[in-house]
Amino acid sequence: MTSSVDPQWVIQAHGLTKKFGDFTAVEQLDLLVPKGNIYGFLGPNGCGKSTTIRMLTGLLTPTEGTINVMGLAIPKQAEALRHNIGYMTQKFSLYDDLTVTENLQFIGRIYGIDNSTCKKRIDQLQSTYKLSQYQHQLAGTLSGGQRQRLALACACLNQPKLLFLDEPTSAVDPQNRRDFWEQLFDLSEQGTSILVTTHYMDEAERCHKIAIMEKGRIRADDTPKALMDNINAHVVEINTTDLRPLKQALISHIEVTSAAQLGHRLRVLVSKQVADPISWLLHQCQQHNHPVNLQDIHLVSANLEDVFVSHTGQRVPASHEAT
C-alpha cells in the first residue's frame, strides 16, 4: 500500500468508497493533494466532504479503496498519523466549560508538549489568533469567529504538517472569514498543507486547487483558474425585463445547462455544442415572444459558480457570495 508513495503528494487516495448500509456516501473517489497547498473540497451539504475527511484521518474505515497520508497507510497506521495532523471539526469540539487558555493547555498536554514549550506556543497562538484578551473567558461564551480562531489555534498547537479543516467558516461573518483565510495563507507559507471543505464559492476560489464534489463523487478537480478557463459552457448574460417566464422557457432547452437570475440580469450557461450562443439565444428569445436587443446580451467570463453548475447541474446554497 505504501509502495507508490510520491513525496510530492501529501494525500493520495484511490478508489475510495464509503457505504453506510444502502447509502453510498462516497463513491470511487481518487484524490491527490500536493504538498504545501491549500486544497479545497467544494460541494453542497451532504455531498460526502466530511465523510471523506473522516476517512482520510482514520476516523472512518473505507468500504473500498486505499489511502496514503504523509506516507502512512490509513486507517492501519492512523495512530502514527495523529501526531502529525491537526483537525478542526465541523462542529465546535472544544470544551465550552473550559477557558481559552485551558482548552489550549489541554490539547498541548494531550500531544505531550512539555510545559515551557507549550506555554510559549500558547502565548504565541493567542496573540496570532487575537485571543489574548479572551484567554480567561470560557469557550462557550465566545462569538462564532472567536471560537473558530480558538479551534484553529488548537489544531495548530502541535505544529502539524497537515491540517484538516471541515467547514471551518460555516458560522462566521464575512470579515472574520477573510481574516481566517489570511491566517490559512500564513500557515501555508510556513509549509503546512491544508485540506479544507467549504460550500462558499469565494473561499473555494482562494484555494490553490479544488475538487468539486457532488453526491459522493469528485466531478472536477484543478486550480480554480484552470477550471474557469476550461469551463464546458458559454456564459451569457441577458439584460431584460420579465425574467421569470424567460428563465422558465430557456431552461427547458437541452442546450441550456442553467439559467439564474442576478437582479435585472439572467445568467445563462449554454452548452459548447452551440457554436454561436448569442445568436442562438436571440433566436430562442424571439421564439418565446420575448425579443431582446443585441446590446443587452453578451458573453461574460465564467466564475467558479458557473463551473460548479456546469459540472453538477445544480446551484449551491449560499452561492450569493460569488464574485
Partner 1 sequence: MLNSIRHSYMRIHAITAKEIKQLMRDRITFAMVIMIPLIQLLLFGYAINTDVRAIPVAIVDQSDSAVGRWIVEAVKVTQVVEVTSYLTTAEQAQAAIRRGDIKAALILPPTLNEKIARNEPIGQWIVDGSDTMIAGAIKQLRNLSLNDIVPEQTSNQSRFEVSLFYNPEQRSAVNIVPGLIAVILTMTMVLFTSSAIVRERERGNLELLITTPIKPIELMIGKILPYIVIGLVQMTIILGLGNIIFAVPINGAISHLLLGTLLFITASLTLGLIISTIAKTQLQAMQMTIFVLLPTILLSGFITPLEAMPTAAKWIAEALPGTHFMRVIRAIVLKGATLGELINDVLWLVGFTVIGLWIAAMRFSKRLD
* Residues in touch with partner 1 (CB under 8 A): 54, 57-61, 75, 78-79, 82-83, 85, 87, 89, 91-98, 102, 105-107, 109-112, 138, 154
* Shortest Cβ 62–partner 1 spacing (Å): 10
Closest CB to partner 1 among residues 92, 208:
92
CA angle 108, 114, 118 (to 5 degrees): 50
* Shortest Cβ 97–partner 1 spacing (Å): 5
Closest CB to partner 1 among residues 91, 320:
91
Which residues lie below 8 Å from residue 167, measured CB to CB, with a gap of 6+? 49, 50, 90, 197, 198, 199
305 close to 315: Cβ distance less than 8 angstroms: yes
Closest CB to partner 1 among residues 112, 317:
112
Closest CB to partner 1 among residues 95, 185:
95
Chain centroid to CA 146: 21
179: number of Cβ within 10 Å: 16
- φ, ψ for residue 208 (rounded to 5)? -65, -40
Closest CB to partner 1 among residues 151, 292:
151
* Shortest Cβ 55–partner 1 spacing (Å): 9
* Shortest Cβ 286–partner 1 spacing (Å): 57
* Shortest Cβ 4–partner 1 spacing (Å): 25
- φ, ψ for residue 90 (rounded to 5)? -60, -45
What one-character DSSP code corresponds to residue 160?
-
